Structures are given as C-alpha cells and as structure tokens.
Amino acid sequence: MNLVGSEKLQKMTASIFQEIADRKMEAIKNGKDVIDLSVGSPDFAPPSFVVDALVESAKDTSKYGYTLKGIEEFNEAVGYFYKQRYHVDLDPANEVLQLMGSQDGLAHLATAIINPGDYVLVPDPGYPIYEASVNIAGGIIYPMPLKAENKFLPNLHDIPQDVLQKTKMMIISYPGNPVTALADKVFFEKVVEFARTHNILVVHDFAYSELIFDEHPQISFMSIAGAKEVGIEFNSLSKTFNMAGCRIGYVVGNPQAIQLLATFKSNIDYGVFYPIQKAAVKALTSDFAYLREQVKEYELRRDALISGLEKSGWKVKKSPATMFVWAKIPSGWTSRQFAFELIDRAGVAVIPGDAFGALGEGYVRIAMVQPPERLTEAAERIEQFLAEVVEK
C-alpha cells in the first residue's frame, strides 16, 4: 500500500520538536549528557493540594465514565480565578468552555469558524498550532510580523484593506511564545477597536498568564472594555499549575464563539476525566500563594541563564514573562545549524526560531525547564561552544 498524506497534511511541516528530540536521543546514545531546554514542559511538580484532590477523587469508582463537558464546579472555578487574578467577571454558564488543554481548543477553533478562503491574521513568529489550525480548516494565513523594533507587537495599520475585507479571525498571544513579549492596555484597546471596525474575531492565547516577572502587570484581554464583544481568550493549567499531562484548560469570552467551538467539540470528544476536573477546581480556587513562589523560582532561573550567557559574550535580553528566553544567535549561522551544532557539540538542546515562522530565523528559543545550577552549566557549555567556534 502506498499512502500519501492529504493536501492539508502536506502544508504542515514536520515537527521540529520531534526532530530535536530525535537528535537529543542520538547524542545520549553516543554517551553525551544532554541538558534539554527545548520543549516547554514544566519540570516543577503540581501543588500538593492538587495532587491530593486528584488522588482522592480517583478513588471514587463511579467517576470513570464520560463527563461529556466541564462540570459546573469547574466553570465556576474558572470564573472565580478570573475575578481574583484579572478582575474579570465571567458568566460560567455561557462565557466559559472546558478544553483538553488550550492547544486542543486552538487546534479546533478554526475548523469551527473558518471556511475555505477566509483569511486569518497569524503572528510571525508564533506558536505552530496557530498556523496549523488554519491550514486544517482550509483558511488563508496572513502573517503579522512581530519585530524587536516594534516590541514584538503587530502593526495593525500595515494590513491591506483587501485582506481585512476577507479576514474572519486574528490570533495574538501576550505573554508571547516564542517571543516572550508583553502587551499593555493601550495595545489591547487598539485591538478591540480594530476588531470591531473590521468585524474580526480576536483569539488571545493567554497560556503564560501566571509567568510574568519583575512586577509587570497581568493583563487579561478580557479585562479590556468591549473585549467580550469581539474576542475570546484561551488559558491553561499546564504552565500555571504544572498539570501539562492532565490535559485540561479552558476558553472564556464571547458566548457565540464559545458555543460554536462547543458544538464542534461535542462531535469529537467525550470530556476530561472527572478526577482531573476536581483537581483543577482545587487549583483554580486556592489561595494562590503557590503562584507567587513559582514566579520567583522562574525569575531565579532566568537570571542564572542570562548572566551565564553574558559571560560567554552572548548578550540576550531578559524575558519579562513565560518560561522561555528568545535569543538572537551570533551571525554566520542559521537557526537550525546553531541548534543542531549545540546539541551535537555542547549537549544543550534548544528550538530553532524558524520553527515558529519565517521571522524566527536568526533566533533560538531556550526553555527554562531545568534548575538554576543546570542552567548555569548549560551557559558554561555554550560559552565553550562559542569559544571553539570563534577559534575555528
């Protein structure tokens, strides 16, 4: 049998994450100790009270059937979390939808809303699922350049009118992945007005909402006047509470958009395991002291990595948020050449920037998913690697 992938599949690139993982395993087989700073999978444990809630609920053997959708308690917990953390009022019944992780919702949203030929404004660089979801739906991607000179914010005025007339949706993400940038209230207000003027649904990915450093404000797009009229916001427990493997998240905001996604999901899944929902409820209604301590730990990691890289002569800007560093690589390399050589010669795994779009070329994304001492060691290996390259 000779099977060929669909046209939609052929539009997707092979996962660079898997390519880096394969290269890492090859290095390990060859006896190299690899410090993995590639995938943004938290190495912290979930809070003990979350684990306790999961274990206790899992003992109830009557809760092993399909849940079909989020339990009311979960939706109410999301409402509580948004009120306490971002000063946003939500209607749990109509403005909250449970997801199997925010990527699940982002992957399916375009299929629920976009028709072939509809345009979608997508950030470049941006998280790969944004572009992939539009390709699956048959939509047309219009990239919004995110450049350092514009603080990695898209210039909405640069988008041609003929494109805007055919645009149905735009995707933004602050704190950003991979660029780690933050947006302020003024930018979000401009987005609301832009979306209202052109009848565009705004999709805000807020997965790193609780990993914001140096006392920068946490700004939910939903806290902006008029945001619910034009947009929705995805969030997750993966990064916030280190529950990545549990696969649970949510989307909030515009009831009509949420209902369209809910209708689509009702045809393809049967809900999240009940004990995981109960653990999520516990997380979302905690006193949040855990979150404050976690941010401090990530700040320590960031500072250890940045200071170590500076010693090597590689000056990288401090990330104001997320679990990543977005680093401009030395000249003379492509992103993939640099990342592959770094694994092979230094035993440090990072993700090449072009995996996130054309404008990611010249950068790598470094995940702070190791303890400070391990990040310091990674920086020392990189220092030696750069010295060898210069000498050569």
Residues in the chain: 392
Q: Which domains does the chain have, with CATH numbers?
A: 7-45+289-391 (3.90.1150.10), 62-284 (3.40.640.10)
Query: Tell me, what's the pLDDT at 2?
Result: 87
pLDDT in tens, 33-56: 999 999 899 999 999 999 999 999
How much of the chain, in percent, has pLDDT values that exceed 90?
88
pLDDT in tens, 349-373: 999 999 999 999 999 999 999 999 9
Pairwise CA distance, residues 241 & 77, whole Å? 14
Tokens describing residue 111: 């299929």
Pairing of strands 140-145, 119-124: parallel
Phi and psi angles of residue 340, each rounded to the nearest 5 degrees, phi first: -65, -45
Helix (H, G, I), strand (E, B) or coil at 172: strand
pLDDT in tens, 234-275: 999 999 999 999 999 999 999 999 999 999 999 999 999 999
Q: Which residues pair with 203 in a beta bridge?
A: 171, 232
| DSSP H helices in the chain | 7-10, 16-29, 48-58, 72-86, 102-113, 128-137, 161-164, 185-198, 227-230, 255-265, 274-284, 289-311, 335-341, 372-391
Please state the pTM of the whole predicted model.
0.96
- How does 370-380 read in b/e, with b if 16+ C-beta sit within 10 Å? bebebbbbbbb
**Using N-to-C axis directions, what is the helix angle for 274-284 and 72-86, rounded to 10°?**
20
Q: Of 25, 19, 15, whose CA–CA distance to 131 is shortest?
A: 15
DSSP string, 233-300: EEEESTTTSS-GGG--EEEEE-HHHHHHHHHHHTTT-----HHHHHHHHHHHTS-SHHHHHHHHHHHH
Residue 119 is inside which H or E element, if any?
strand 119-124
Residue where the block lists tokens 């450049």: 147
pLDDT at residue 328 tops 90? yes
Confidence category of residue 14, pLDDT binned at 50, 70, 90: low
pLDDT in tens, 175-199: 999 999 999 999 999 999 999 999 9
Confidence category of residue 391, pLDDT binned at 50, 70, 90: low
Residue 270 and residue 67 in contact, taking contact as beta carbons nearer than 8 Å: yes
What's the DSSP call for residue 220?
A: -
- Side chain identity at residue 72, one-letter code: E
Query: Tell me, what's the pLDDT at 103?
Result: 94
| Residues 108-113, mean pLDDT to the nearest whole number | 97
Q: Which CA distances in Å does 198 have to 140, 160, 222?
A: 17, 12, 19
Who wins on pLDDT, 2 or 183? 183
Tokens describing residue 192: 């609301």
